[in-house]
């Protein structure tokens, strides 16, 4: 086990490069199962979730050849198992993404209940809907077993715009007979990345970037070379980091269109940025004052499916709001346990009223003090790192495994910006 030791109140300055999108890398690794030809993926973040997905890929019979810390050649000439190993599935929710490709390639997929972040109930029903509408049968015992003699295209309305269910359905549909239409599909940048990779492999997909995806099934997919896009969740995290620490940070390799939905929310806190090309700059001279709604009303920041404000940035913007003058309501609509981490911020001195599992009222600015903390999930863990870096005094963060599931070389990269942060084994 590892923990972070942080000395706060050091404004961060310098340049940091955005990593590849974790949430795009994971389905793209699973998609390599769909062909028996080599697939080369680059800009893969060097993080724990990726390592677990590669372990699953290898356990299913895939060949994994590292080309660099951020690039791999993957090939599944022969699939030796269609059962996802329990020890891997319980580590990462994204293990469910192998269900669609395995079903399409072999006619069977065995899936133990997936693990991952503990942020509330995370339904699997939409995955079942997508795959059964394509012709799969599902049995539930110690694991979920999907079987199908063949998959047939269908007109499918998803009961929620689930990212991973959309990805699973698309990966199954590309090798199904006939045409499939997914309505109410997720359209996040990582879903778009997966679709673009599949097109490069020979899939026929229309409507990429919208909530209606039309897929013409093909008999076979080929290998390809594909570069994962930048992680806009990480970019949003660094924006919050710069603002909360009164820092001055340049973020290289940013995908500016992907961060546009977050800009409206950060502007409500008086936090802005500028960009030139793919370099985004968060300057130190921020207003850091809540911009009230018309009539002087308290503004609300709430999340929504793309292109709304990303749910994974709710923890980050909550910490940033503690350092802003004024009052704001944050409303996390999707997961009933994600906002419980604010108790840790309250213990550090933040003025927050947790109204219910989904809503919190934040009044700032608050002077935070160092504390002993425990990371509950990837994004809340990063939010606690930001809080500790903004606080006076020393903080210790435990369970940093959760943070490092989603952020590559976080200690080294933040230290290069001037953060007083070190990692220790315990």
117 counts as catalytic: yes
Within this chain, domains 2-19+230-425 and 22-227 share the same CATH topology: yes
- CA 420 – CA 426 distance, rounded (Å): 19
232-260 tens-digit pLDDT = 999 999 999 999 999 999 999 999 999 99
- Across 118-139, b (16+ Cβ under 10 Å) vs e yields ebeeeebebbbbbbebbbbebe
Superfamily of structural domain 22-227: Enolpyruvate transferase domain (3.65.10.10)
Q: For 15-33, what is the mean pLDDT?
A: 97
Which residue among the candidates 117, 258, 312, 377 is catalytic per the annotation?
117
Q: Judge residue 155's burial from the number of C-beta atoms within 10 Å of its C-beta, 0-12 exposed, 13-18 middle, 19 or more buried.
A: exposed
Beta-carbon count within 10 A of 79 CB: 16
The band of 119, judged by pLDDT with boundaries at 50, 70 and 90, is very low
* pLDDT exceeds 60 at position 418: yes
Q: For 402-424, what is the mean pLDDT?
A: 94
Q: Map tokens 């001195």 to a residue.
A: 349
Task: Estimate to the nearest angstrom the gap between the alpha carbon of 326 and the chain centroid.
Answer: 29
- CA 73 – CA 67 distance, rounded (Å): 7
Q: Map tokens 């979920």 to a residue.
A: 144
Task: Kindly list the domain boundaries of the chain, sorted by start residue.
Answer: 2-19+230-425, 22-227
Residue 157: C-alpha distances to residues 27, 129, 181 (Å): 21, 9, 8
| Of 422, 417, 366, 359, the residue nearest 394 (C-alpha) | 422
Q: Map tokens 């009164």 to a residue.
A: 246
**pLDDT score for 225:** 98
292-310 tens-digit pLDDT = 999 999 999 999 999 999 9
Q: Map tokens 């019979």 to a residue.
A: 61
> By three-state DSSP, how is residue 250 classified?
strand
DSSP, res 369:
B
| Of 345, 319, 314, 343, the residue nearest 331 (C-alpha) | 314
Beta-carbon count within 10 A of 210 CB: 12
**pLDDT score for 117:** 41
- CA 426 – CA 21 distance, rounded (Å): 30
Beta-carbon count within 10 A of 393 CB: 14
* pLDDT exceeds 50 at position 185: yes
Q: Considering the entire predicted model, what is its pTM?
A: 0.93
Which range, of 56-70, 114-128, 135-149, averages the lowest pLDDT? 114-128
Residue 178: C-alpha distances to residues 153, 174, 175, 242, 244 (Å): 5, 9, 9, 50, 52
Candidate ranges 110-114, 124-128, 281-285; pick with highest mean pLDDT: 281-285
Which DSSP string do the residues of 96-163 spell out, in sequence order?
A: GGGHHHHHHHHSEEEEPPP----SS----HHHHHHHHHTT-EEEESSSEEEE-S--B--EEE-SS--H
Q: For 410-424, what is the mean pLDDT?
A: 96
Residue 29: C-alpha distances to residues 13, 94, 299 (Å): 34, 10, 40
Percentage of the chain exceeding pLDDT 90: 84
In contact, 348 and 371? CB cutoff 8 Å = yes
**pLDDT score for 8:** 96
Nearby residues of 356 by Cβ (< 8 Å), 6 or more positions away: none
Q: What is the longest distance spanned by two Cα atoms in the chain?
A: 65
Percentage of the chain exceeding pLDDT 70: 97
E strand or H helix at 175: none
Task: State the average pLDDT for the chain.
Answer: 93
Q: For 151-179, what is the mean pLDDT?
A: 96
The band of 55, judged by pLDDT with boundaries at 50, 70 and 90, is very high
382-395 tens-digit pLDDT = 999 999 999 999 99
In contact, 2 and 400? CB cutoff 8 Å = yes
In contact, 388 and 12? CB cutoff 8 Å = no
| Of 8, 90, 91, the residue nearest 50 (C-alpha) | 91
Beta-carbon count within 10 A of 96 CB: 25
Domain 2-19+230-425 in this protein, CATH class: alpha beta
* pLDDT exceeds 80 at position 118: no
Q: 121: left (phi > 0), else alpha (psi -120 to 50), else beta?
A: beta
The band of 120, judged by pLDDT with boundaries at 50, 70 and 90, is very low
In contact, 29 and 64? CB cutoff 8 Å = no
Which DSSP string do the residues of 190-250 spell out, in sequence order?
A: HHHHHHHHHHHTT-EEE-TTSSEEEEE--S----EEEEPPB-HHHHHHHHHHHHHTT-EEE
81-112 tens-digit pLDDT = 999 888 887 777 788 999 999 999 999 999 88
322-376 tens-digit pLDDT = 999 999 999 998 777 778 899 999 999 999 999 998 999 999 999 999 999 999 8
* pLDDT exceeds 90 at position 123: no
């Amino acid at each position: 086990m590892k923990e972070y030791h942080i000395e706060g109140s050091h404004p961060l300055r310098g340049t940091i490069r955005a990593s590849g999108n974790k949430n795009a890398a994971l389905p793209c690794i699973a998609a390599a199962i769909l062909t028996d030809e080599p697939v080369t993926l680059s800009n893969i973040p060097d993080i724990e979730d990726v390592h677990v997905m590669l372990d699953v890929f290898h356990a299913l019979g895939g060949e994994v050849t590292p080309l660099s810390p951020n690039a791999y050649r993957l090939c599944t000439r022969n699939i030796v198992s269609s059962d996802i190993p329990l020890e891997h599935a319980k580590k990462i929710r994204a293990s469910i993404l192998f269900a669609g490709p395995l079903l399409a390639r072999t006619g069977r997929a065995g899936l133990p209940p997936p693990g991952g972040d503990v942020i509330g109930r995370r339904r699997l029903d939409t995955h079942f809907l997508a795959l059964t509408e394509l012709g799969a049968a599902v049995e539930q015992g110690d694991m979920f077993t999907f079987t199908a003699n063949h998959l047939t295209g269908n007109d499918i309305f998803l009961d929620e715009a689930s990212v991973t269910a959309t990805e699973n359905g698309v990966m199954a549909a590309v090798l199904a007979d006939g045409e499939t239409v997914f309505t109410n599909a997720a359209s996040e940048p990582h879903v778009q990345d997966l679709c673009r990779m599949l097109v490069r492999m020979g899939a026929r997909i229309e409507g990429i970037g919208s909530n209606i995806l039309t897929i013409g099934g093909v008999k076979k997919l080929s290998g390809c070379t594909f570069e994962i896009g930048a992680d806009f969740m990480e970019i949003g995290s660094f924006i919050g980091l710069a603002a909360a620490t009164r820092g001055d940070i340049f973020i290289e390799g940013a995908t500016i269109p992907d961060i546009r939905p977050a800009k409206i929310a950060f502007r409500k806190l008086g936090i802005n940025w500028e960009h030139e090309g793919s370099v985004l700059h968060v300057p130190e001279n921020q207003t850091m004052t809540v911009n009230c709604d018309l009539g002087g009303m308290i503004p609300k920041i709430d999340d929504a499916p793309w292109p709304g404000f990303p749910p994974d940035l709710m923890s980050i913007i909550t910490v940033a709001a503690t350092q802003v003058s004024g009052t704001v309501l944050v409303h996390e609509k999707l997961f009933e346990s994600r906002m419980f981490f604010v108790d840790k911020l309250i213990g550090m001195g933040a003025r927050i009223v947790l109204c219910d599992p989904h809503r919190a009222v934040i009044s700032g600015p608050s002077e935070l003090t160092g504390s002993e903390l425990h990371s509950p999930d990837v994004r809340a863990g990063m939010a606690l790192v930001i809080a500790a870096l903004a606080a006076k005094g020393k903080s210790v963060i435990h369970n940093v495994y959760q943070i490092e599931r989603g952020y590559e070389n976080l200690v080294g990269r933040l230290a290069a910006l001037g953060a007083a942060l070190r990692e220790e084994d315990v």
